[in-house]
Chain A
Amino acid sequence: MSYADTAAVAINPRARRRRLLRKRFLRRPLAVVGLLAALAFIGAAVFAPVVAPYSASATDFNATLAPAFTPHHILGTDELGRDVLSRIIWGSRASIQAGVLATLLAMVIAVPIGLVAGYYRGWIDPVIARLTDVLLAFPFLIVAVGLAAILGPSLTNATLALGIGAAPGLIRIARGEALALREEDYVRAAVANGASDPAILARHIFPNMLSTLIVQATVTIPGAIIGEAVLSFLGLGVQPPTPSWGVMLADAQSYLSQAPRLALYPGIAIFACSLSFNLLGDGLRDVLDPRTTR
């Protein structure tokens, strides 16, 4: 970016920064591909009734286990004659819902706790650190398995488990950011001005850690998407006949020799969906958070 460029848009520094970031982002082809693919998956989930050729449970007993590229069924049908493409499109709802909501839940839990621990320090910081260690001591699948046992298996409970499982890592990140930001000059200036702690946290610390949080959220989503698939595969998440990529893979296990493609397509969908969010996250990290290398 040349000086002439900067001068032309220098009136509003925020707009200028946004323009600069957009320009940097658009220069990364993989990040743009990731963004478009992620949007496509979200679009498929939201508009499934419009996009999917059939309903997820429509059976056609005259065309069971039809191979791919059969007329009317591009990806073929499963053992009950249900259209595989339609089920993958409908299944994206569970994945996107679990991925996005679990990440939001983790953020809602983690950010306030991390902020308090990092900003106030004192006795509260080690207490939160130990509690985080306790949560980290339970592998996420064990937490999910335990929650499914207590609350019963469902998409909501799986999302809950994934959100709780992702929280401890995010608490550590939010704490680290708050710890670094509280030493910044503008925070000291606000303290000297007599600003209250909530005001400092809300107006100075939180907005400045937002870019880190956005990057973290983008890389938490693919983990939660795979997590939902794992839980549904194990019977601890989405319950049939509701379509989910994990449920489809579990069903496909009985037909590995007759129709291996039934196990291929849902897996490719999970892979593509989580890859698109990972590409987007890597791109955002390069643009928003140039300090960290990967």
Chain B
Amino acid sequence: MGGFLLRKVGAALIVLILASMLVFAGVRAIPGDPAIALGAENRDPAVLSAIRHKYGLDKPLPVQYVNWLSLAVRGDLGTDERELSVSRTIVQRLPITLELAFLAIVIGTVIGIGAGILAAVRHGKPSDYASTTLALVGLSVPHFWLGIVMIIYFAVTLHWLPAGGYIPFTHNPVQNLEHMLMPAIVLGTGLSAVLMRQMRSSMLASLGADYVRTARAKGLSEWSVVGKHAVRNSLITVTTVVGLQLGALISGAVITEQIFVIPGFGRLTIDAVNQRDYALLQGVVLVAAAGYVVVNLLVDVAYSLLNPRIRVSGSG
């Protein structure tokens, strides 16, 4: 187990370092001299070279990278165009997106896994076709459009829910959830379609497996065959899918927050691009990539705890 864990952590570290290089190189590839941007109107060569010296821009790129990374691992991502700490801005915005993502995962897994189990147990019956068709619709529908349609009906026409905005949970839990409900549904339905398909196919495989036949032969009730044996084994596979869907979830959060005017991490990303704030963009992209790698490492470890076969045979 120790060796397995070490290998996984090592691989994740390599990925993180390469990803940080890519982020660093990407921001340096943006045309334009950052010193001129930092110097604002001042084009005096002496001022520019002083700025270059202050921010270490006169040093070779590898040195700049190491300096940037050593500050970044200590939580210092520099300051943005408005001289605000990038780390602090991200820490302020992130909880909003995490709440949205959490609610979306709850909605997505409850609907997706429920529908997947139903479809597999009722294989070939109308409820199977209904849930498979719904999953296909869920995969094809552009979720940001679903958000706009929900705003038209539930906010503009019926006035049931607010069209957008954000109220912190600590200020008013009820209003917070009212504002989060539509965005979470929009983000969750995309996840549920993917999970439904995965759950259905792995349930169908489980239901045909020997241990399920044995369980039936022992005379166990259908309820405990499905619930205790088939579902439990299928859930293990589906866990990894949730981890892999995290990237889609982050992308989804960007557009969902844009539509529902939620001041979260996703909206920060778009703002950073629109304001050409590269220090902010660099920090945001790095945090998104690091989050993805770390969550998938945790999923991998959890998966190996649930399924010991992986530890023995998995090569990395």
Distance between Cα atoms of A56 and B269 in the complex (Å): 32
Distance between Cα atoms of A150 and B258 in the complex (Å): 21
How many residue pairs, one in A and one in B, have C-beta atoms under 8 Å apart? 141
Shortest Cβ gap from A176 to chain B (Å): 14
Chain B residues with Cβ under 8 A from A138's Cβ?
19, 22, 247, 285, 288-289, 292
Chain B positions 9-54 with a Cβ under 8 Å from a chain A Cβ:
11, 14-16, 18-19, 22, 26, 29-31
**In the complex the two chains form, is B19's CB within 8 Å of A134's CB?**
yes
**Residue B293 at the chain A interface, CB threshold 8 Å:** yes
**In the complex the two chains form, is B273's CB within 8 Å of A222's CB?**
no
Distance between Cα atoms of A126 and B316 in the complex (Å): 8
Known: A278-B140, A282-B136. A139 touches B250 (CB 8 A): yes
Distance between Cα atoms of A136 and B246 in the complex (Å): 10
Distance between Cα atoms of A247 and B248 in the complex (Å): 22
Chain B residues with Cβ under 8 A from A249's Cβ?
144-145, 148
Taken residue by residue from 186 to 229, chain B's Cβ proximity to chain A (1 for < 8 Å, 0 otherwise) reads as 00000000000100110011000000000000000000000000
Chain A positions 61-113 with a Cβ under 8 Å from a chain B Cβ:
none
Chain B residues with Cβ under 8 A from A18's Cβ?
none
| Stretch of A19-27, A42-50, A210-218, A269-277 that contacts chain B | A269-277
Shortest Cβ gap from B284 to chain A (Å): 8
Known: A136-B247, A257-B156, A264-B149. A279 touches B136 (CB 8 A): yes
Taken residue by residue from 252 to 274, chain A's Cβ proximity to chain B (1 for < 8 Å, 0 otherwise) reads as 11001100100110110011001
Partner of A149, one of B157, B278, B292: B278
**Residue B92 at the chain A interface, CB threshold 8 Å:** no
Partner of B205, one of A266, A274, A293: A293
Partner of B251, one of A142, A146, A233, A274: A142
**Residue B270 at the chain A interface, CB threshold 8 Å:** yes
Chain A positions 148-165 with a Cβ under 8 Å from a chain B Cβ:
148-150
Known: A137-B15, A279-B136. A149 touches B276 (CB 8 A): yes
Number of interface residues of A (CB under 8 A): 45
Distance between Cα atoms of A150 and B30 in the complex (Å): 5
When C-beta atoms are compared, the residue in chain B nearest to A222 turns out to be B140
**In the complex the two chains form, is A271's CB within 8 Å of B140's CB?**
yes
**In the complex the two chains form, is A260's CB within 8 Å of B152's CB?**
yes
**In the complex the two chains form, is B141's CB within 8 Å of A256's CB?**
no
**Residue A131 at the chain B interface, CB threshold 8 Å:** yes
Known: A139-B288, A256-B151, A256-B152. A146 touches B281 (CB 8 A): yes
Taken residue by residue from 159 to 202, chain B's Cβ proximity to chain A (1 for < 8 Å, 0 otherwise) reads as 00000000000000000000000000000000000000100110
Taken residue by residue from 247 to 281, chain B's Cβ proximity to chain A (1 for < 8 Å, 0 otherwise) reads as 11011001100100000000001100110101001
When C-beta atoms are compared, the residue in chain A nearest to B205 turns out to be A293
**In the complex the two chains form, is B140's CB within 8 Å of A141's CB?**
no
**In the complex the two chains form, is B15's CB within 8 Å of A294's CB?**
no
Distance between Cα atoms of A264 and B289 in the complex (Å): 34
Chain B residues with Cβ under 8 A from A260's Cβ?
152, 156-157
Chain A residues with Cβ under 8 A from B98's Cβ?
none
**Residue A140 at the chain B interface, CB threshold 8 Å:** yes
Distance between Cα atoms of A137 and B258 in the complex (Å): 22
Chain B residues with Cβ under 8 A from A287's Cβ?
none
**Residue A181 at the chain B interface, CB threshold 8 Å:** no
**Residue A130 at the chain B interface, CB threshold 8 Å:** yes
Distance between Cα atoms of A130 and B13 in the complex (Å): 10
**In the complex the two chains form, is A141's CB within 8 Å of B250's CB?**
yes
**In the complex the two chains form, is B285's CB within 8 Å of A130's CB?**
no
Known: A126-B316, A149-B30, A249-B148. A137 touches B142 (CB 8 A): no
Q: Which among B204, B205, B288 has the greatest number of chain A C-beta atoms within 10 A?
A: B288
Shortest Cβ gap from A87 to chain B (Å): 16
Distance between Cα atoms of A146 and B250 in the complex (Å): 14
**In the complex the two chains form, is B137's CB within 8 Å of A267's CB?**
no
Distance between Cα atoms of A177 and B14 in the complex (Å): 26
Distance between Cα atoms of A282 and B123 in the complex (Å): 17
Distance between Cα atoms of A29 and B292 in the complex (Å): 40
**In the complex the two chains form, is A236's CB within 8 Å of B273's CB?**
yes
Known: A139-B248, A139-B288, A260-B152. A149 touches B273 (CB 8 A): yes
Q: Could you give 6 example pairs across A and B, Cβ below 8 Å?
A: A138-B247, A150-B31, A253-B148, A256-B151, A260-B156, A275-B137
6 new A-B pairs (CB below 8 Å) besides A140-B247, A140-B248, A282-B136? A131-B18, A134-B22, A142-B251, A234-B255, A256-B156, A274-B141
Chain A residues within CB distance 8 Å of chain B: 126, 129-131, 133-134, 136-142, 145-146, 148-150, 222, 226, 229-230, 233-236, 249, 252-253, 256-257, 260, 263-264, 266-267, 270-271, 274-275, 278-279, 282, 293-294
